[in-house]
Amino acid sequence: MVVLRRRRKVEEEEEEEEEEEEEKKKKKKKKKKKKTKKKKKKKKRRRRRRRRRRRRRRRREEEEEEEEEEEEEEEEEEEEEEEEEEEEEE
């Protein structure tokens, strides 16, 4: 009887240990998944930010170019007008 009890106890303890190990493994796995999700999110955010920045830069540059072109055109027109006026005076 005593021997049987001891065996049962030992078996139960072993089973409990195994279960605990399995639980630990599961927990570890879950944690890892969460970490990768966070990393992915961060990566996505960074990409978005970069894209936005690039887009903004491009837009600004384009706008600046357009403004410069307009200014040049205006200057040219003014010069032409001045030339015409000078010609008229002569």
pLDDT tens digits, one per residue of 27-39: 776 666 666 888 8
CA distance 35 to 84: 73
Q: Average the pLDDT over 37-44 and give the result.
A: 91
- pLDDT greater than 90 at residue 1: no
CA 31 to the chain's CA centroid? 22
Look at residue 86 in the predicted model and tell me its pLDDT: 80
CA distance 65 to 74: 14
- In terms of Cα–Cα distance, which of 8, 30, 9, 28 is closest to 20? 28
Look at residue 4 in the predicted model and tell me its pLDDT: 78
Look at residue 2 in the predicted model and tell me its pLDDT: 75
- 56: pLDDT confidence band, cut at 50, 70 and 90? very high
Average pLDDT across the chain, whole number: 88
